[in-house]
């Protein structure tokens, strides 16, 4: 494709400054099959009225969780968001504010960060939290980089039951690093302990597991901690924050770093983002923590106040001095999570988790009542579970369910070819008995139709 600059002299000056031989050389890292070797085929320009109508037509094609009953999961969940979250988070002093480098004019934002960090530490059992990261995938990557920095080791051992997109992000980061990624299998829905023990050695920086994992199964966190710590490695645990209303805190089970996708804490699904990356760790790693950290202190009048602490401003604006160059983060979503957790409180979070657990187990019973379906794994689950379709017609079945008004689940074959006959179902506290029964009936109708077509 042609590249244009103001003048050939400008172009040559740029190339000389960066040490490149040609403009094409700048794009050598992009594979040929990903390049568009022609000009963009754009239609004629539209007027404002016509453009608005066109965009409305395109938007009307979208189907979302407010239009259909949603049993989708895999990292993005249809949880209830109390009205107070939107009411406070949409206030101008929060919604339009910028980076709080000047504490004298940023006390509200800094206090929110501090309160958020406090609640995340209480929730996870960790000593310190930041506020915050981009999403669960970036949090997993940052936790791995922290572990490599702290241990001076370069090997990372994730379980295959960790979210496949988290692992893909880590693998992308490792492309140009002298690092090794050794993935441990999960043949029964949870990591293979004997395989993990063989994979972890004196070069391992950390073990990465997810609890509940991508299949919804509960992992043995204490066993993973024992295996990792025996070789001097750290244990990084990815969690579902809602599950911590019922499950033991990962910090109490031996985790050294805890990360999570925080979307379920007061943020709608909104087409996959932007979301909230949660990261917390033990105190000994606090100076290796990326992102912002707010601290509480007193001013010259001995009044309580808040500041960014443990990191200089250069942490966020000078790449060479940063643990990780994260500046404009998801602070607004950390605010939403803080409001959500404060509104529910410990008892509300526990009740939400109990509803997810009870309703999901009711859904399992209703679905597997049809002989076509069975649980893919026999492990305990929280709110997500994998169902095997004995007919193997997962894609068409889910498409039929969507036509009838139900987002019935996510096909697993995209990430796990060996599970091409399985799909992931999520049941949150929002789902009613009637909706769950409708899901089971919809899948059973697909089963009958399949039998007829055969």
pLDDT in tens, 48-104: 999 999 999 999 998 888 889 999 999 999 999 999 999 999 998 888 777 787 888
Mean pLDDT of the chain: 92
* CATH code, 138: 3.40.640.10
Tell me, yes or no, whether 168 lies in a domain.
Answer: yes
Q: Is residue 32 part of a domain?
A: no
The mean per-residue pLDDT over the stretch 398-404 comes to 94
Percent of all residues in the chain with a pLDDT value above 90, rounded to a whole number: 75
CB-count exposure of residue 431 (10 Å: 0-12, 13-18, 19+): buried
Confidence at residue 451, expressed as pLDDT on a 0 to 100 scale: 52
Q: Which two tokens stand for residue 345?
A: 């409180």
Q: 433 and 321, same structural domain?
A: no
- The answer to whether residues 167 and 189 belong to one domain is yes
Q: Is 3 within a domain?
A: no
Report yes or no: 402 and 392 within 8 Å, Cβ to Cβ: no
Nearest alpha carbon to residue 234 among 167, 190, 282: 282
pLDDT, tens digit, 9 for 90 and up, residues 300-340: 999 999 998 887 655 556 666 567 767 666 789 999 999 99
Residue 393 to residue 421: CA distance in whole angstroms: 7
Write out the residue range of the structural domain in which residue 297 sits: 83-341
**CB neighbours (10 Å) of residue 8?**
8
Give the phi and the psi of residue 366 in degrees, each rounded to 5: -70, -40
Statement to judge: residues 253 and 387 lie in one domain:
no
Instruction: Tell me how far apart the alpha carbons of residues 427 and 398 are, in angstroms, rounded to a whole number.
Output: 16
Mean pLDDT, rounded, for 283-308: 93
Q: Tell me the percentage of the chain whose pLDDT exceeds 70.
A: 93
The answer to whether residues 235 and 207 belong to one domain is yes
Q: Are residues 146 and 257 in the same domain?
A: yes
3-class state of residue 310 by DSSP: coil
Does a structural domain hold residue 37?
A: no
**In sequence order, what are the beta bridge partners of 295?**
307
- The whole-number pLDDT of residue 319 equals 60
Query: Looking at 341, 376, 400, which one is the last position of a domain?
Result: 341
Residue 376, domain member (yes or no)? yes
Nearest to 166 by CA among 208, 227, 203: 208
User: If residue 296 lies in a helix (H) or strand (E), which one and from where to where?
Assistant: strand 294-298
Domains identified in the chain, total number: 2
Q: Which long-range contacts (CB under 8 A, 24 or more apart) does 369-376 make?
A: 369/440, 370/440, 370/443, 370/444, 370/447, 372/443, 372/444, 372/447, 372/450, 373/443, 373/447, 376/189, 376/215, 376/419, 376/422
Q: What is the CATH number of the domain that holds 410?
A: 3.90.1150.10
Indicate whether 60 belongs to any domain: no
Q: What is the pTM of this model?
A: 0.89
Say how many CA atoms lie within 13 Å of 260 toward its Cβ.
28
* Residue 36: CB atoms within 10 Å: 8
Domain for residue 298, yes or no? Answer: yes
> Are 145 and 170 within one domain?
yes
Note whether 197 and 311 are same-domain residues. Answer: yes
In a domain, 438, yes or no: yes
Last residue of one domain, picked from the residues 324, 341, 358 = 341
Q: Which of 315, 341, 367 corresponds to the end of one domain?
A: 341
Give the DSSP letter of residue 65. Answer: T
- The closest alpha carbon to 206, from 187, 225, 191, belongs to 225
Identify the band that residue 281 occupies on the pLDDT scale cut at 50, 70 and 90. Answer: very high
Is the same domain home to 206 and 351?
no
């Amino acid at each position: 494709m042609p590249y244009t600059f103001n003048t050939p002299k400008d172009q040559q000056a740029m190339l000389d400054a960066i040490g490149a031989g040609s403009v094409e050389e700048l794009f050598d890292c992009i594979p040929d099959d990903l390049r568009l070797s022609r000009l963009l085929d754009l239609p004629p320009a539209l007027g404002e009225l016509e453009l608005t109508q066109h965009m409305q037509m395109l938007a009307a094609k979208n189907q979302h969780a407010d239009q259909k009953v949603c049993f989708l999961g895999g990292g993005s969940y249809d949880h209830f968001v109390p009205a107070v979250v939107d009411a406070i988070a949409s206030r101008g002093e929060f919604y339009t504010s910028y980076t709080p480098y000047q504490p004298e004019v940023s006390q509200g934002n800094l206090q929110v960060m501090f309160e958020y960090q406090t609640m995340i530490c209480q929730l996870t059992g960790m000593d310190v939290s930041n506020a915050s990261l981009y999403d669960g995938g970036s949090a997993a990557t940052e936790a791995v980089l922290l572990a490599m920095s702290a241990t001076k080791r370069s090997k990372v051992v994730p379980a295959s039951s960790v979210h496949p997109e988290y692992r893909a992000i880590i693998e992308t980061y490792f492309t140009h690093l002298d690092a090794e990624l050794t993935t441990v299998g999960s043949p029964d829905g949870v990591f293979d302990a004997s395989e993990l023990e063989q994979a972890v050695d004196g070069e391992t920086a950390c073990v990465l597991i997810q609890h509940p994992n991508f299949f919804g199964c509960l992992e043995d966190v204490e066993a993973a901690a024992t295996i990792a710590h025996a070789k001097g490695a750290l244990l990084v645990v990815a969690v579902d924050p809602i599950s911590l209303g019922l499950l033991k805190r990962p910090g109490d089970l031996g985790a050294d770093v805890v990360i999570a996708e925080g979307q379920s804490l007061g943020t709608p699904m909104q087409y996959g983002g932007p979301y909230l990356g949660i990261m917390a760790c033990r105190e000994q790693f606090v100076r290796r923590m990326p992102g912002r950290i707010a601290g509480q202190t007193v001013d010259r009048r001995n009044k309580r106040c808040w500041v960014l602490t443990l990191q200089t401003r250069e942490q966020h604006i000078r790449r060479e001095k940063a643990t990780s160059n994260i500046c404009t983060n998801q602070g607004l979503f950390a605010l939403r999570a803080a409001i959500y957790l404060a509104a529910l409180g410990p008892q509300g979070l526990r009740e939400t988790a109990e509803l997810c657990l009870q309703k999901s187990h009711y859904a399992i019973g209703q679905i597997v009542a049809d002989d076509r379906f069975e649980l893919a794994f026999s492990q305990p689950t929280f709110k997500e579970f994998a169902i095997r379709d004995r007919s193997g017609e997962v894609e068409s079945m889910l498409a039929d369910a969507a036509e009838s008004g139900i987002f019935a689940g996510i096909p697993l074959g995209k990430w796990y070819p060996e599970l091409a006959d399985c799909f992931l179902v999520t049941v949150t506290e929002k789902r009613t008995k009637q909706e769950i029964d409708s899901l089971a009936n919809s899948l059973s109708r697909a089963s009958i139709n399949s039998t007829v077509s055969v």
